[in-house]
A and B are shown apart, each in its own frame.
Chain A
Amino acid sequence: MTKRWQRLGNAIWQARFLYLLLIPGIVYYAVFYYVPMSGLALAFKKYNARLGIWGSPSVGWANFQRIFTTPAAVSAIRNTLEINFSRLLFQFPVPILLALLINEMRGTKWKRVYQTVYTFPHFLSWVVMSAIISNFFANGGMINTIIANMGGERINFLSNSALFRPLLYFTHNLKEMGWSSIIYIAAISAIDPTLYEAATMDGASRLQQAWHVTLPCIRGTIITLFILQVGRIMNSGFEQIFYMQNASVKGVSEILDTYIYNITFKAVPSYGFSTAVGMFKSVINLVMLVGANVVVRRMGGSGLMG
């Protein structure tokens, strides 16, 4: 027994320098992630600022029951899911297509210029991006002026419930597709060139090569990114929606994140209830992530982390 302890002590002493390096990080994660995680206890309490998180009276599952009896919360859940499944459909494949196209492009120099254009919006904040977009799509903006000059009717893009969500997907693609495509381009550049040579010998056209060689070869990358995206199914991109949202599209745009923000910082706050909504969101995310990972493994893929 003492020998084992000695060996453990020895191993720890050997790695003392590495522990030293870990300390700031451990403190950071403890203070900003794990203490707040214990604060999730709030979800089961009626918060009283005077008594603090731990002194506040417990209410059991009442806050969670309230989620499903509050129409606004239920509608926020529905909007979140609808928007995010649509994002998987309308946003997830776009960077893959872009990567395939860039890969097919002739001319190294032009490729670089184009990629610069596609990528730069990623580094701008949504504050900047939404201002640019609102300016562009406003009633007096460029798009509508062009429409009007061509004799068409001005379209109120920004406050039209039917157009709000497509505008979300479209503008998100404008901002992020270039950045997201880099990882696919990197994966494509790692493909063995002899595969293409063989395909060319067999008389495969470029489209056939993209379909039968390139896509299967980057399947692993696609699956990994897909799982990660599914694990964020309850996060709909708070900032984008928060900035682009306005009163006339609230019915289709209020998601869980904006809902939590509004009930906590605008109305009379009920911290217990807000925390419960947030926790509900996090748990669903985690379940979806693990679920997607299991499904992929069952289907013979390698899933996350090996």
Chain B
Amino acid sequence: MKSVAEHPGKTARSGLNRWTRGDTAVFVILTVVALLILLPFYNAVVISLETNRAYALHPVSLYPAEFSLKNYTYLIEKGQIWTGFQNTVLITAIGTVLSMSVSVMMAYAFSRRKYPGKRLFFLLMMFTMFFSGGMIPTYLQMKSLGLIDSRWGIILFVGVSSYNIVVLKSGFEQTPPDLEEAAKIDGANDLVIFFSVMLPLQGPLLATFTLFTAVAYWNEWFWSMLLINSSGKMTLQTVLRSIVAEAAAAADVSTGEADLDVFSQGVKMAAVMMAMVPIMCFYPFLQKYFVKGVMVGSIKM
């Protein structure tokens, strides 16, 4: 974040150092935008932390009118969301390791000097960014691989992205060639160079894309919905979706006072918070790095 914040042109221009009307306008606009983003989330936090009665009386309040953790304990006791958590953590962990290994190896191979077939393989990979078989042929392929109702279907398919590989490749390309030469002279073979010279040098970039990949697994919903049938294998997002959709059906007809037989608005928002929190915990670590990742990508383009 630092390199972006410390804009070089900025110092030259803020030489006057006087707070102008323009500064006020910029500040006001940006603050309104930030509030627009934060308010819906804040509102959801408050609703998740109060009793249904308090919510029915005051649907809008700046703090929980009657503080209660009942929505959360209800969800945990019901167990469905717990199953979702377990499956998603499992899928995210295995999937991130596998996908990152495949991507990093491929990116490194594409970043090296010319060899027969390199360009062809690279173009074939890029082509999939813009053209693919689409949903049905992919689904039928999953079926013929026996991946229906299997968590492996999600693990194997979801995490590899051509875009990530391209950015990782340009990261590897930026390593100074002298380092590789020096290692070679020291008698290191390709394998040693890859693991002990190249990978450590790309630490921040690898961290960024590991986290991106983990987020992609964590948020994956479409293929879990298509592939998984048994309730024991449901992922967090599918469980969350079923909780939310059930409540939405009730909220549609009434005026938001959800039917108590189905999930109440409070439980619904509590579920949303539970799905969000793990990502929010990683976010500060992620933020430090991702600007670099995006920048390497933009240089490439």
Check if A42 is an interface residue, CB within 8 A of chain B: yes
Asked if B30 and A102 make an inter-chain contact with CB atoms under 8 angstroms apart, the answer reads yes
Q: Is A191 an interface residue (CB 8 A)?
A: yes
- Tell me whether A185 and B141 are in contact in the complex, defined as CB-CB below 8 angstroms, given that A125-B237, A127-B244 are known contacts: no
A139 touches B256 (CB 8 A): yes
Q: Is A51's CB within 8 Å of the partner chain B?
A: no
CA of A24 to CA of B13, assembled, Å: 51
Q: Within A174-206, which residues are at the interface with B (CB < 8 Å)?
A: 174, 178, 182-183, 185-189, 191-197, 200, 206
Q: Are B133 and A174 in contact (CB under 8 A)?
A: no
* B262 close to A (CB within 8 Å): no
B196 CB–A CB distance under 8 Å: no
Query: Is B43 at the interface (CB under 8 A from chain A)?
Result: yes
Interface residue? B8 (CB, 8 A): yes
Q: Please report the C-alpha to C-alpha distance between residue A135 and residue B14 in the assembled complex, in whole angstroms.
A: 43
Segment at the B interface, from A32-40, A66-74, A79-87, A161-169: A32-40
Given the known A-B contacts A17-B191, A26-B121, A28-B102, are A275 and B255 also in contact in the complex, defined by CB atoms under 8 Å? no
Q: Are B252 and A271 in contact (CB under 8 A)?
A: no
Residues of B contacting A183 with CB < 8 Å?
A: 294-295, 297-298
Within 8 A of B (CB), among A25-71: 25-26, 28-29, 31-40, 42, 53
A-B contact count (CB 8 A): 290
B135 contacts chain A at the CB level, 8 A cutoff: yes
Does B53 sit at the interface, judged by CB under 8 A?
no
Q: Which residues from chain A contact B118 at a C-beta distance below 8 Å?
A: 18
Evaluate contact between B14 and A106: CB separation under 8 angstroms. Answer: yes
B6: Cβ under 8 A from any A Cβ: yes
Chain B residues within 8 Å of A261, by CB: 135
Interface membership of A116, Cβ < 8 A? yes
Indicate whether A123 sits within 8 Å of B279 (C-beta atoms), given known contacts A11-B115, A102-B30, A135-B40.
Answer: yes
Decide if A29 touches B125 in the complex (CB within 8 Å).
yes
* B116 close to chain A: CB less than 8 A: yes
Q: In the complex the two chains form, is A31's CB within 8 Å of B145's CB?
A: yes
Proximity string of chain A (99-123) to chain B, C-beta cutoff 8 Å, 1 when within and 0 when not: 0011111101001101111111101
A11 adjacent to B116 (CB under 8 Å): yes
A29-B125, A145-B59, A195-B9 are known contacts. Are A12 and B116 too (CB-CB below 8 A)? yes
Binary CB contact string for chain B from 113 to 126 against chain A (1 if under 8 A, 0 otherwise): 00111100100110
Judge whether A252 is part of the interface by a CB distance below 8 angstroms: no
Alpha-carbon distance A139/B39, docked complex (angstroms): 17
Chain B residues contacting A135 (CB-CB under 8 Å) are: 40, 43-44, 47, 265, 268-269
The one of B34, B121, B191, B269 in contact with A22, judged by C-beta atoms closer than 8 angstroms, is B121
Report the separation of the CA atoms of residues A105 and B8 in the bound assembly, to the nearest whole angstrom: 13
Contact present for A186 and B248 (CB under 8 Å): no
Across-interface contacts of B44 in A (CB, < 8 A)? 131-132, 135-136
Is B184 positioned at the interface, with any CB of A under 8 Å from its CB?
no
- The residue of chain A having its C-beta at the shortest distance from the C-beta of B127 within the complex is A33
| A265 pairs with B272, CB closer than 8 A | no
Docked complex Cα distance between A102 and B4 (Å): 10
A75 interfacial contact with B, CB 8 Å: no
- The residue among B11, B12, B135, B287 with the most chain A CB atoms within 10 A of its own CB is B135
Task: Write the A75-98 contact mask toward B (1 if CB under 8 angstroms, else 0).
Answer: 000000000000000000000001
User: Quick one: given A37-B133, A264-B136, are A15 and B116 in contact (CB under 8 Å)?
Assistant: yes
Count A-side interface residues using an 8 Å CB cutoff.
111
Interface of chain A residues 123 through 172 with chain B (CB within 8 A): 123-128, 130-136, 138-142, 145-146, 154, 158-159
Contact indicator B219/A125 (Cβ below 8 Å): yes
Is B221 a contact partner of A118 (Cβ separation < 8 A)?
no
Does B140 count as interface, using CB distance less than 8 angstroms?
A: yes
Would you give the shortest CB distance from A151 to chain B, in whole angstroms? 15
* A276 smallest CB distance to B (angstroms): 10
Roughly how many angstroms separate A262 CA and B279 CA in the complex, as a whole number? Answer: 31
CA distance A139 to B301 in the complex (A): 45
Which chain B residues lie closer than 8 Å to A116 at the CB level?
Answer: 283, 287
Are A142 and B276 interface neighbours, CB within 8 A?
no
What residues of A have a CB within 8 angstroms of the CB of B74 in the complex?
none
Nearest CB in chain B: distance from A246 CB, A: 7
Contact of B222 with A238 in the complex, beta carbons under 8 Å: yes
Given contacts A261-B135, A278-B134, contact A106 B19 (CB under 8 A): yes
A98 touches B257 (CB 8 A): no
Question: CA–CA, A257 to B69, complex, Å?
Answer: 39
| Chain A to chain B: the 10 pairs with minimum beta-carbon distance, closest first | A140-B256, A39-B137, A36-B133, A278-B134, A25-B106, A15-B115, A125-B219, A36-B137, A17-B190, A21-B105
A-binding residues in B (CB < 8 A): 1, 3-14, 19, 22-23, 26-27, 29-30, 33-34, 36-41, 43-44, 47, 59-60, 101-103, 105-106, 108-109, 112, 115-118, 121, 124-125, 128, 130-138, 140-141, 145, 156-157, 160, 165, 189-191, 194, 215, 218-219, 221-222, 226, 237, 240-241, 244, 248, 251-252, 254-257, 265, 268-269, 272, 275-276, 279-280, 283, 286-287, 290-291, 294-295, 297-298, 301
